[in-house]
Structure 1
């Protein structure tokens, strides 16, 4: 897929086929992701890959419960309350894979650098027929001390992008966007 076509047709995917993404494909996507520019050449990224369906489902339920138990702290999530109460709803879209990107806070630019990595991974995946979705809800559980200890994430790394990833069940139409706001345009 040509790069401009890829950019113009990429969407967040929330319905995946059951097929597992092979390790070599995930490694390739991560390597492509890390080809981005990086502030001061620090390359502050690190990754966790989870492909255990039971673990993914457990993390989804734990996240839903945490959010429901602490809803008053997050008024901006009110619109999602019914989703979180739905037993069929999965935070991770029933994906077969979670790809989690962490940034080393010793780099001032870790959030920017790791966001660029995520963008590269998402575009590369899309070009291969693999869908992705940045999962904002996951920020409440995948950056805890317990989670990071379980998966060997060093203390100085902070969560930047939790991503569901999997082969697309169906192809979506290209996104429609508003005209960009250019502040100094007359």
Structure 2
């Protein structure tokens, strides 16, 4: 698949098959992620890869519990309360692989660099027939001291992108987008 087709067709995927993405493929995707542009060549990214539906489902339940207890602190999430209350809803879309991208805060550009790495991973995965989805709900639980200690993430690293990854249950149609808003030309 050429890059233009990949960009035009890529969608966030929220339904995966049970087929596990191989360790080799995950390693290849992480390597492609690190080919992203990086400010001052600092390459401030670090990754946590979690595989296995049981562990990811437990993280989903922990995330739902946390968000429901703290909805007042996150008014932008109030609209999703019914999802969070639904016992069958999975924050991580029932995926069997979760990649968390962390950035070293010693780099001024860590947010940008890690976001570019995430974009590379998402586009590369799509070109391989693998779906991905940036999981905004997870930003509160995958960046806690407890989580970072459990998964050996150094304290100076902050979560940038929690991403589910897996083989798509069905091919999605190309996304429709608004015409670019140009403020000045």
Q: Provide TM-score, normalisation by structure 1.
A: 0.98
Superposition deviation, residue 53 in structure 1: 1.4
Whole-angstrom CA distance in 2 between matches of 1:74 and 1:114: 24
Whole-angstrom CA distance in 1 between matches of 2:79 and 2:7: 29
1:80-159 to 2 correspondence within 5 Å?
80-159=80-159
SS in 2 for 1:152: coil
Superposition deviation, residue 172 in structure 1: 0.3
1:48-59 to 2 correspondence within 5 Å?
48-59=48-59
For 1:60, the equivalent position in structure 2 comes to 60
For 1:15, the equivalent position in structure 2 comes to 15
For 2:161, the equivalent position in structure 1 comes to 161
For 2:30, the equivalent position in structure 1 comes to 30
Where does the alignment leave 5 or more consecutive residues of structure 1 unmatched? none
List per-residue Cα deviations over 1:53-111 (Å, max 9, x = no partner).
11100000000010001111111111100000000000000001001100000000000
Runs of 4+ in 1 over 3 A off after TM superposition: none
Superposition deviation, residue 52 in structure 1: 2.1
Whole-angstrom CA distance in 1 between matches of 2:86 and 2:105: 36
List per-residue Cα deviations over 1:119-141 (Å, max 9, x = no partner).
00000000000000000000010
Whole-angstrom CA distance in 1 between matches of 2:46 and 2:20: 22
Whole-angstrom CA distance in 2 between matches of 1:36 and 1:147: 26
Whole-angstrom CA distance in 1 between matches of 2:156 and 2:174: 38
SS in 1 for 2:118: helix
Whole-angstrom CA distance in 2 between matches of 1:17 and 1:54: 15
For 1:40, the equivalent position in structure 2 comes to 40
Where does the alignment leave 5 or more consecutive residues of structure 2 unmatched? none
Whole-angstrom CA distance in 1 between matches of 2:50 and 2:136: 17
2:174 maps to 1:178 = no
SS in 2 for 1:160: strand
Q: How much is the aligned-residue C-alpha RMSD, in angstroms?
A: 0.5
SS in 2 for 1:91: coil
Whole-angstrom CA distance in 1 between matches of 2:33 and 2:171: 23
SS in 2 for 1:155: coil
